[in-house]
Homo-oligomer: A and B are copies of this chain.
């Protein structure tokens, strides 16, 4: 049975919260994060992605995080990230994901680990055949070190009917998304924290698949896009861009995002697991302005809501 393409819309990439001196997975914070996304609401959730620090969780923790999210968000489709870039280990991780996710699994997300379409096709096929899962193909050279063209991705997608989506994170993303969506029906999602979301939508993206401390902003952009196209989406999303750009800073973006989630009362702690970097003290001084601004936007767009 061929897996179904992912539904369009907002796919929230969950950060994995840690707590205590041993940086253990913080299940309660994770639950609050899921609740935040359900309230937005997100159309789907992504766990163990690059910004979910999937690569920093051992196999027991991977299973625990996936199953907790699946339990907390029954009925919400899940994509589970596979951090391995070799076939045998990717299969092992994908099996963990399938077992833990249960019936809501919509796909496993696998990184392009080579620019050779034939080799990549064999890799994805092996993961799919071993698990039955749909595959989200992630093109994220910053994490993978692999540069693959839109034409090569297209060749892979054509040969792999079980690919349920592409996550396109090789800037300039709107070029790649435009080329992919012009010649394929597979849904293509933008990521990268939403830095290029407006252009990605204009280029044909099926939505946003990314993390953000305020997913309400991504939701607002997507809803506005559906409602009124580019101009409407632009008006809805521009106020969020200062914070989007702040969180998109290389190296420290994840730490900043977790800090804001802590300030919002979602996470108990902002810790990242090394070698992910902790944002330096200096930059935290910029946080209050961002938080005040975000509260202002939320208040104006969700007047009856008490979220901060």
A interface residues with partner B (beta carbon < 8 Å): 53, 55-59, 61, 84-89, 91-92, 113-114, 119, 122-123, 145-146, 171-175, 178-179, 182, 195-196, 198-199, 202-203, 230-231, 234, 237-239, 241-242, 245-246, 249-252, 273-275, 279-280, 282-283, 285-286, 289, 292-293
Which of A145, A175, A274 is packed against the most chain B CB atoms within 10 Å? Answer: A274
Q: How far is the CA of A263 from the CA of B193 in the complex (A)?
A: 30
Instruction: Determine how close the nearest CB of chain B comes to the CB of A254; give it in whole angstroms.
Output: 12
- Please pick, from B58, B246, B274, B279, the residue contacting A92 in the complex, using a CB distance under 8 A: B58
- Please pick, from B85, B114, B242, the residue contacting A198 in the complex, using a CB distance under 8 A: B242
Instruction: Determine how close the nearest CB of chain B comes to the CB of A152; give it in whole angstroms.
Output: 14
Tallying the copies of this chain within the complex gives 4
Apart from A146-B275, A171-B249, A199-B283, list 13 A-B contacts with CB within 8 A: A56-B89, A58-B88, A58-B91, A113-B275, A122-B274, A145-B145, A172-B249, A172-B250, A175-B252, A178-B282, A198-B242, A234-B293, A245-B245
Interface residue SS majority, chain A: helix
